[in-house]
Amino acid sequence: MSRWLRIDLHIHSALSACALPEMTPNNIVNMASVLGLDVIAVTDHHAAANVLPILDLAQQAGIICIPGIEVQSREDVHLLCYFQTYQPLRAFTDFVTSLLDPQIQLPKNLGKQLIFDETDTIIGEESRFLHQSIPLSTEELWRVAESFGACCLPAHIDRPAFGILSQLGFIPPSLPVKVVEVTMGQLARPSKHLPLDGMAVITASDAHSLEQMVTPGHSQLHPSLNSVTRIWQWLRNPQIDLLRSFQSELEDQ
C-alpha cells in the first residue's frame, strides 16, 4: 500500500450486549471494506470469541485486523488492549472473565451476547454479563494486560462516562500512556482542553451498529505501518508524523 491507511480500532460485535445483532463478523468486515478501511480492531467488552472469525475474514478481504479487547477497571475506566496475535488475547480474556461477578445478571433491556462462526451462524451465547467492572484498579489492569503482551490505551477520553478523565479526573503519571482515543463523528467532539501533553490522539467509532461505523474523521496511519506487528509497535512507541488525526486540529484551536 502506498496511500495512508484508514483505521478504526474500536468496533463492537454482537458479543457486546450493547451492540446490535447485525454486528456479525461478515457484516463488520464487509462494512469496513465498503468504507475503505484498511485497519480495524473488534474490541468487545471482556470477550474475544468473535475476534478469531473476524481475523480470518479480514485477511480474506485484504484488511489488517488487530486482535483486541475493551476492559473496564474498578473505577469504571475503559481501556483498549491490543495484541500481536490471538493466542495472548485469548489468555488475557480468560483471565479477565474469571474476575467477572457471576451474580450480576444481563439487563433485560440489552441484547444477547452472541458468538458467531465465519458464516455468521450463531454458535454460542455468553451467559455472564460482560459489561461490568472487574476488581482491579486502572493501573493494576494496565500492568496485568501488559504482562500478557498487550499494548494499552485509554478509550474515549473525551466522554462524560467510562473515560479515564471523567472517572479519575486525570491521567495517572505512573501510567505509560502514549496514545489516547477520542470518539469521532456525532458521538463526541475533541476539545483543545484535553490534557494531551504531546500524546498521539487516534479517533475511532466505538461502533455498536453498522450505521455507527459510517462516521467521518477516521485516523490514518503512514503506509509503512502495513502489518499487525508494525501497528502494534507504533501504538507502544508512536511517532506523531506517522499519524493523521484530530491532533493537528486540536493544536490549532
CATH number at residue 195: 3.20.20.140
Range of the domain at 129: 5-252
Residue 188 pLDDT class (50, 70, 90 cuts): very low
- Point out the least confidently predicted range of 16-20, 131-135, 249-253: 249-253
pLDDT tens string 207-224: 999 999 997 778 999 999
Which sign, positive or negative, has the C-alpha torsion 145, 133, 107, 11?
A: negative
Q: In the prediction, which pLDDT does 44 show?
A: 98
What pLDDT, on a 0 to 100 scale, did the predictor assign at position 40? 98
- The total number of structural domains in the chain stands at 1
What DSSP line would sit under 197-214, residue for residue? Answer: TT-EEEEE--BSSHHHH-
C-alpha angle 1-220-239 in degrees, rounded to nearest 5: 95
pLDDT band, residue 194 (cuts 50/70/90): low
* Locus of grid cell 473525551: 158
- C-alpha pair distances (Å), 109 with each of 17, 45, 147, 170: 9, 17, 36, 32
Beta carbons of 79 and 71 less than 8 angstroms apart: yes
Span 175-202, mean pLDDT? 72
